[in-house]
A and B are shown apart, each in its own frame.
Chain A
């Protein structure tokens, strides 16, 4: 499958802990986007990377950070976890450099549960 892949699919952890979510974009896509979907909320944009550089930032908490590596995969790091961080975290990729958004290709998401 050459689509967007995210790992892990499910993750259960405790408050105060730190986790890393991983995303591999579609082959050839240079842009990676991270979204958070909490219960009854739409997809909230967190951050976007293009070819290794941060391109746009949304409502991302200071406890969260991300990066995109030379092989274009991306990681989202969530630290000092709180109950409210429990959500579905989506990664998406696209070809465009970020100035004009076309179609985003989404992964299946990583479901994080903080107990």
Chain B
């Protein structure tokens, strides 16, 4: 069964500091990985997906199959990055559900 682990419940960084939100997964096949974000008083929304290989709001994430990781990174944190971040996994097949991690709250302080 697939599983997503986000080891940190809370990550607190200073504005301008680098950010790395950790995500590890367990799945024997070829997964598709996503990062979802929930800003205060907003809905959970897609931030980025590994297959797109894009940078959104300065965030990037690289799928490392050897380490089964999909860490989310940003070189310089901004106050508006403060939010709850969820890593999620799925795979192409008969089941289409997203499996979410428990989330990491990112707190960017001045």
Contact = CB atoms under 8 A, between A and B. Distances in A.
A106 B97 contact: no
Interface magnitude class on chain A: 20 to 34
Interface residues of B, number: 23
B26 to A, nearest CB: 14
A99 interface: yes
Contact of B96 (A4, A41, A96, A105): A96
Interface stretch (A11-19, A42-50, A65-73): A42-50
Nearest to A99: B96
Given A42-B101, A48-B97, A104 B46 contact: yes
Contacts of B11: none
Give the interface SS of chain B, mostly helix, strand, loop or mixed.
loop
Contacts, number: 60
Interface in B29-59: 32, 36, 43-46, 49
A100 interface: yes
Contact of B102 (A41, A90, A105): A41
A115 interface: no
A61 interface: no
B43 A106 contact: yes
B89 to A, nearest CB: 10
A43 B86 contact: yes
A40 interface: yes
A8 to B, nearest CB: 17
Given A48-B97, A98-B96, A3 B43 contact: yes
Contacts of B46: 103-104
